[in-house]
Structure 1
Amino acid sequence: MSSGKFISGDFVYVTPLKADSDLSRNQASPGDIVFTQRGTLGQVALVPEVPFDRYVVSQSQMRLTVNPEFADTEFVYYACKSPEFLKQVNDNAISTGVPHINLGILGRLRIPLPPVSQQRAVAQVLGALDDKIAVNRKLSRKVDELSFSCYLAMVEDAMSIPLSSAAQFVNGKPFTKGASGTGRVVIRIAELNSGIGPSTVRSDIEVDDRYIAQPGDILFAWSGSLTLHRWFRGEAIVNQHIFKVIPHQEYPAWLVYQMIAHKMPYFKDIAADKATTMGHIQRKHLDEPVPVPSPEKIQEHDELMTALWGRALLAEQESEKLEALRDALLPHLMSGELRVRDAEGLVSESV
């Protein structure tokens, strides 16, 4: 529920018999809205039209089916992402144990409800931004897939070197301790996976440049979910359990990124074997061999691969700007302070 407008990702499954018997009351259909009940409160997502005609909602989620006579589903989705609604969620959350809400609380929360025609107009404006964001994310993903295929072609029959010899792997520090709440974002694994949100920590602390992430830097979460990222947001501080990867001069960023990507299945297998602790790798695993193109092939393909790297980064940065515009327009459209026509002009300039 954290990757965009619609639920997506690596699903787990139950049999149709199980769904029809024990879980018949826990199903969601395309067009339904799903809310997080405990943990990361405020998460909300739509059930997409494809690829499935029904889903089973876990015990940490709640499903809402909108009555089309009174409301537009996408308008309700955006209303439930507004700052006013999120404040209601936080104000009404049960703080005992893990903060949570329930169906009773959800049913008491309030959203604006203008005429359905106006709801649809608002949803179309905000949806145009989300559609462009989705296109950019797909573009970035496809560019990375193409780059990896090019890398594999370059390393056929190539020599191997220790991964650690291609770059410096700088482990972040526990910068969240004593954070001021203002200043630069402290990048935790949560920020890598879900972006910057209400729980994001900020700090005014001065740190060495080795622990500062700039747009285009490579970040590698080596504990927990084990993920590889191209940082595209503003200057930020790298927290513990994350490597800032600084390529050595002879190895461009695009190449080091693909070399790490090549080893990720191996790293994840190692982490999966940590049965009694949180999955992670150790520094010694960075010394494992990974194929590297010859200097001649690196030089031959550098212009193209650098261009692909830059295009993916640009798409990610544009999406961040569009998200900021969407989030800025949302409360003003919901409150009626901003006319849909004026918002359409702002959106058309951006997309």
Structure 2
Amino acid sequence: MSSEFQEVIFDEFIELASEKVPVESLTLETYISTENMIPNKGGIEVASSLPNSKTVNKFVKGDTLFSNIRTYFEKVHFADFSGGASPDVLIFRTKSAQKLLPEYLYYIASNKDFIDFTVRTSKGAKMPRGDKGAIQGHKLLLPPLSTQQRISDILRTLDKKITLNRQINQTLEAMAQAMFKSWFVDFEPVKAKMQALENSGTEDDANLAAMQAISGKTADQLATLKTQHPDQYQQLHHTASLFPSAMQDSELGEIPAGWEVKSLDTMAHYQNGLALQKFRPEDENDFLPVVKIAQLKKGFTDGEEKASPNINPSCIIDDGDVVFSWSGTLVVDSWCGGKAALNQHLFKVTSDDHPKWFYYYFTKHHLDEFQRIAQAKAVTMGHIKREHLKKALCAVPDSDLIAHLGQTIKPLLDKAVAVRLENRTLTELRDTLLPKLLSGELQISTEDVA
């Protein structure tokens, strides 16, 4: 430890803020509870509802919010706005910014040493909560203000890049889902063709209308594209020509003429995971981390459980694989947490007939209905059955059209996976540096900071 670091008591420099704010003054965007805090220091989501109480604890910009339920989920957030928080979210506030920077306080609360301390001293078995008294008596190492600033700057640079990548991913996902819904659920290119023909247009007019529906461009913008990028224009023209200009009746309702109806379970293979407590590693140095629903939600393995690497290969997942939790919390995701063993209650989704993006977005398309079915079950762990996969119908065009549309959607999904893998690397770097910087083991100088 560097000599400039001094051991201090948490309560000497940090207060647990308890000032109240009326709930009626809050919005879904300014209310934070443990439910809308994202694990692994992943930030926050918009709240789904406001509490029934008249008041909640008030936080201000610069406070650190710390979820005090099951603190091993590492739900820690640096407030960049003022609002209100539920009682199970502790509000850490520096008593003097001249002695402890708010940004540095956030990294103290994010440090694994502090998280582990709160886990060890938690009370309660079913829903363990951090012990406020123990937290207030926790010992910290505190460097001078200038060192706090340099350390915060280094870690904040990594956090900003991680946050930017998350925003990029959200944009990519929204774009891909909007395209998929337009083409395969709402059939907008087909309807655009039909409307053009109903208005006495020619086949060329119908194709142009479909091109607009596919690309989101106006006729003038397409004319410019034709002049400046003729190859792109011709590719779009050919893709539009593959859409039919009529609808047909089906068990799904009206679908584009020539398309067929398939159920999810015939379009893709949903491989259930294993009861991995029966497949422990033969060698403690040769194992696969286990992915359960909790790890899928977090997006990474945490080493809580290990499995033999010699399990059925169809129950091993790796980066980019589609995973669907069909019990408890229903989630569909592209796994980006590295090679792992898949536990029961999770499907690994694959297909020999259709590309990954196609069955991924069709599974996501049916997720709302699956969640409704699971929530309706009067059991602790709501779930769906394979019969529900059979009842989930999809309108499927020929392989030629799927291949052409894949040239647009597949790169978005590939980019999203690549960005998440970059974030995994950045997160590992941040979490490696964090305890070393805060303990003084890794010393920095002014020259270390750009």
| TM-score normalised to structure 1 length | 0.87
Measure, in 2, the Cα distance between the counterparts of 1:290 and 1:42: 37
- The CA deviation at 1:332 is 1.4
Match of 1:168 in 2: 269
Partner letter of residue 271 of structure 1? Answer: A
Partner letter of residue 169 of structure 1? Answer: Y
Match of 1:85 in 2: 114
Give the counterpart of 2:133 among 85, 104, 127: 104
Match of 1:28 in 2: 59
The answer (yes or no) to whether the contact 2:64–2:79 under 8 Å persists in 1 is no
1:169-248 maps to which residues of 2 (within 5 A)? 169-177=270-278, 179=280, 183-196=287-300, 198=302, 200-248=304-352
Unpaired segments ≥5 residues, structure 1: none
Match of 1:141 in 2: 170
Larger CA deviation: 82-91 vs 66-75: 82-91
Measure, in 2, the Cα distance between the counterparts of 1:176 and 1:2: 28
The answer (yes or no) to whether the contact 1:143–1:308 under 8 Å persists in 2 is yes
Q: Does structure 1 residue 8 correspond to structure 2 residue 45?
A: yes
Partner letter of residue 63 of structure 1? Answer: I
- The CA deviation at 1:282 is 0.7
Match of 1:266 in 2: 369
Measure, in 1, the Cα distance between the counterparts of 2:425 and 2:50: 36
Match of 2:382 in 1: 279
Unpaired segments ≥5 residues, structure 2: 1-36, 188-254
Identity within the alignment, % = 26
- The CA deviation at 1:309 is 1.7
Match of 1:314 in 2: 418
Give the counterpart of 1:38 among 57, 69, 79: 69
Measure, in 2, the Cα distance between the counterparts of 1:343 and 1:215: 37
Q: Does structure 1 residue 49 correspond to structure 2 residue 80?
A: yes
- The CA deviation at 1:71 is 1.0
Match of 2:207 in 1: none
> Per-residue displacement from partner, 1:165-198 (whole Å, max 9, x unpaired)?
1110001112145645762210111111124465
Measure, in 2, the Cα distance between the counterparts of 1:293 and 1:150: 15
Quote the RMSD (CA, aligned, Å).
2.5
- The alignment covers a number of residue pairs equal to 336
Q: Does structure 1 residue 69 correspond to structure 2 residue 98?
A: yes
The answer (yes or no) to whether the contact 2:66–2:109 under 8 Å persists in 1 is no
- The CA deviation at 1:204 is 3.0
The answer (yes or no) to whether the contact 2:295–2:302 under 8 Å persists in 1 is no
Partner letter of residue 164 of structure 1? Answer: D
- The CA deviation at 1:5 is 4.8
Measure, in 2, the Cα distance between the counterparts of 1:341 and 1:177: 51
The answer (yes or no) to whether the contact 1:39–1:99 under 8 Å persists in 2 is yes
> Per-residue displacement from partner, 1:268-309 (whole Å, max 9, x unpaired)?
111121133422111000012123333222121222322222
| TM-score normalised to structure 2 length | 0.69
- The CA deviation at 1:114 is 1.0
Match of 2:179 in 1: 150
Give the counterpart of 1:18 among 38, 54, 60: 54
Measure, in 1, the Cα distance between the counterparts of 2:156 and 2:103: 8
> Per-residue displacement from partner, 1:145-177 (whole Å, max 9, x unpaired)?
211122123221444311111110001112145
Ranked by relative contact order (alpha carbons within 8 Å, sequence separation 6 or more), the top structure is 1
Partner letter of residue 100 of structure 2? Answer: A
Larger CA deviation: 319-328 vs 202-211: 202-211
Partner letter of residue 35 of structure 1? Answer: F
